[in-house]
Amino acid sequence: MNYDGFAVYRKYLAIKLHFDKEEYNYFDYDGHVHTKLETFTKRNDRYFYHKLSVKYNQDEIEDFLVANFVKNKKVWSGNLLEKEAHEIYLQHKKRKESSSYWFKQDCNKISDTILTDNTLPTNALAVFNGQHPLLLRYCIGNKIGPETVIIMNYHLNFMKDWDKLISENVIWPGIRFKLNKFKPFVKFNETETRLTLKEVFL
């Protein structure tokens, strides 16, 4: 199939659906969405997708779109041509290509805070009085990447406890949904990240 503006548009719709709807999984549907070329050619924003197909090749466009929908699931197609969208993609690409390195960097940030506060490593994950734990606050504040929370949860399985113990029901459920949707896109070395957790926190 040709790679052009229509191909980017279909990819955009599929990834948008993935990050927006519980019932749609990009991987289960193999990125397939129901849309017609005739519909696309009538869209006023079709030129944005054509420009994106020139700027990002077939191998890059998925990561570009994922990075921007993780940052803002309501991102508009026109904003994807702006400098900020490209910078979001470059940051995502950097973390993806050196996932073990960035995971360790994030773990060290958390460890430094723990040492400064003279508290236990487990307190980074602990929910006190229904409030957001340190790890979640760092994720919300962009001090660490969402990939780090996903990887740590893979090894330590703490989100199920957060679901029960975090009292507010607006911010955390939205972040939980985003992390669950982002998780299948996050690839990492299980052995290296497990060793990092032991090295930094034990």
What would the pLDDT profile of 30-67 be if each residue is shown by its tens digit? 999 999 999 999 999 999 999 999 999 999 999 999 99
Chain centre to alpha carbon of residue 154 = 15
Domain boundaries for CATH 1.10.220.50 within the chain: 98-201
Assigned fold of 98-201: Annexin V; domain 1 (1.10.220)
pLDDT band, residue 17 (cuts 50/70/90) = very high
Domain range 5-96, CATH class = mainly alpha
**Interval 83-108 mean pLDDT:** 98
- Look at residue 201 and tell me whether its pLDDT is greater than 90: yes
- Look at residue 118 and tell me whether its pLDDT is greater than 80: no
Task: Give the DSSP per-residue string, the chain.
Answer: ---SHHHHHHHHHHHHHHHH-TT--TTTTTT-----HHHHHT-TTHHHHHHHHHHS-TTTHHHHHHHHHHH-TT--GGGGGSHHHHHHHHHHHHHHHTHHHHHHHHHHHHHHHHHHHT--GGGGT---TTPPPHHHHHHHTTSS-HHHHHHHHHHH--HHHHHHH---SSHHHHHHHHHHHHGGG----HHHHHHHHHHHH-
Domain boundaries for CATH 1.10.8.60 within the chain: 5-96
